[in-house]
Amino acid sequence: MSAASNVDLSVSIGGLTLRNPVMPASGTFAEGLEKVMDFNRLGAFVTKTITRELRAGNPLPRVVERPGGLINAIGIPSKGVPYFIETIMPHYAAYDTPLVVSISAPTAEGFASLAAELSIPGVAAIEANISCPNIEEDGKAFAMRAESTQKVTRLLRTATELPLWVKLTPNTGDVPEVARAAEAAGADAVVVANTILSMAIDLKSFKPCLGNIMGGLSGPAIKPIVLRQVFQCAKAVKIPVIGCGGISTADDAIEYMLAGASAVQVGTATFLQPAAMTTIIDGLEAFCLRRETPRVADLIRGVIIEEADEPDLAWLDPVS
């Protein structure tokens, strides 16, 4: 909250209070951004996803731009747990912004082991990226199915007492069902969602544009899809929903909060405008001032759904 206004920007995410609802999406944030923004203004830090094994990432090229977004196939490059604890954590310790550690593993047991090892002083919450392939399910992401989501979340819950955020995939037919499974197994919040599986082809060479053939689409193009999923998940669960997908402006963040998100994560926009997150925070405060809304949390689930008056139009009602 700035000294110039009385707007309360704080939000609560599963026992963790954030000074405002804006944070980076995993994999889109690095220490060098401190040159263009005050890290103490962010609601939280979310780290690049950490794996136990050392990972070089996917073959080049890894990123291709398309109208309205980026397709990436980075492949979660990771230098492992000791490097993170010894090199990365001390850097963030200089700030009073909560540190949320994103983790990934190929098995449910691997997730639990990693969560336990990283439940250390200085870590405020664990974000489990269960959108990654699961070697126990023929390469399908854990979050593709409610059963595998419930299993991995249950093991994670027993492994850590820290707030547990579970990051879901949009690449499944029933995201609300998966969100309910995560909630039932003990998740404190769900992050909706990751990138949408996509592909691009070079018309000169007739080859895929990405070395991995397929990648994940992010950016403004996916916002209407993920916004709908956030709306559905917020109706399906009682735990907080964190919206992630195509958020570039304060207006985008406000839409997500009206749809049911308690907080938002910003990704691709930071690549295009490194100070995007602080601009969004300023915009949220300005919006609340204009609307005479004392608390940004009052926007959560604020969308107004009117019932259809005509019986013939009842199919248009998204609630029924």
How far apart CA 262 and CA 221 sit, in angstroms, is 22
How far apart CA 193 and CA 217 sit, in angstroms, is 12
Residue type, 316: L
Nearest CA-CA partner of 160 in 118, 207, 204, 222: 118
Residue type, 236: A
Catalytic member of 132, 233, 244, 288 = 132
Residue 209 falls in the annotated catalytic set: no
| Residue indicated by tokens 């197994």 | 185
Residue type, 30: A
How far apart CA 53 and CA 187 sit, in angstroms, is 25
| Residue indicated by tokens 């403004």 | 220
Nearest CA-CA partner of 25 in 179, 291, 256, 213: 256
Q: Which residues are catalytic?
A: 132
